[in-house]
Amino acid sequence: MKRFWKKTAFFTIIALIVFSLVASSGTKNKILSQDIRNPENCILAGSLNKQKQLNQLCTSTLNHINAPTPQTTSIPIPTPNFNLTNKERFLATITDKLFTIPQPGTYEYILLRAYGAVFVNHNPEVQLPSKVVFGDEKETKDFQSTLSMGKVNGTNNCYLQKAAADALNQAKAQINIPLKSGYGDSDCTRTFATNLRFWRKYANNKTLARVQQGQETKILGTVAPPGASQHLWGLAIDLRVASEAQRQALNQNGWFRTVEYDIPHWTYIGHPLDQLDEFGFENKVIGGISYWLTPL
The site for Zn ion (CB under 5 A) is made up of 238, 265
Longest CA pairwise span in the chain (Å)? 103
> Least distance to Zn ion from the beta carbon of 231, Å?
6
Q: Which is closer to Zn ion, CB of 30 or CB of 200?
A: 200
> Least distance to Zn ion from the beta carbon of 261, Å?
12
Q: Which is closer to Zn ion, CB of 77 or CB of 241?
A: 241
Alpha-carbon dihedral sign for residues 30, 33, 36, 40:
negative
Q: CB nearest Zn ion: which residue?
A: 265
Q: How far apart are CA 101 and CA 255, in angstroms?
A: 24
> Least distance to Zn ion from the beta carbon of 239, Å?
9
> Least distance to Zn ion from the beta carbon of 90, Å?
21
Alpha-carbon distances of 284 from 42, 58, 211, 225, rounded to whole Å: 29, 33, 22, 23
> Least distance to Zn ion from the beta carbon of 143, Å?
18
Q: Which is closer to Zn ion, CB of 88 or CB of 238?
A: 238
Q: Which is closer to Zn ion, CB of 46 or CB of 254?
A: 254
> Least distance to Zn ion from the beta carbon of 236, Å?
5
> Least distance to Zn ion from the beta carbon of 264, Å?
6
Q: Which is closer to Zn ion, CB of 101 or CB of 112?
A: 112
90 contacts 120 by C-beta, under 8 angstroms: yes
Alpha-carbon distances of 79 from 16, 73, 83, 127, 204, rounded to whole Å: 45, 13, 12, 21, 42
* Amino acid code (one letter) for 133: V
- In the three-class reduction of DSSP (H, G, I as helix; E, B as strand; rest coil), residue 232 is classed as helix
Q: Which is closer to Zn ion, CB of 122 or CB of 257?
A: 257
88 contacts 292 by C-beta, under 8 angstroms: no
Q: Which is closer to Zn ion, CB of 238 or CB of 278?
A: 238
Q: How far apart are CA 188 and CA 152, in angstroms?
A: 9
Instruction: Look at residues 126, 129, 191, 128 and name the one whose alpha carbon lies nearest to residue 162.
Output: 126
Q: Where are the beta strands (DSSP E) in 175-260?
A: 236-238, 255-256
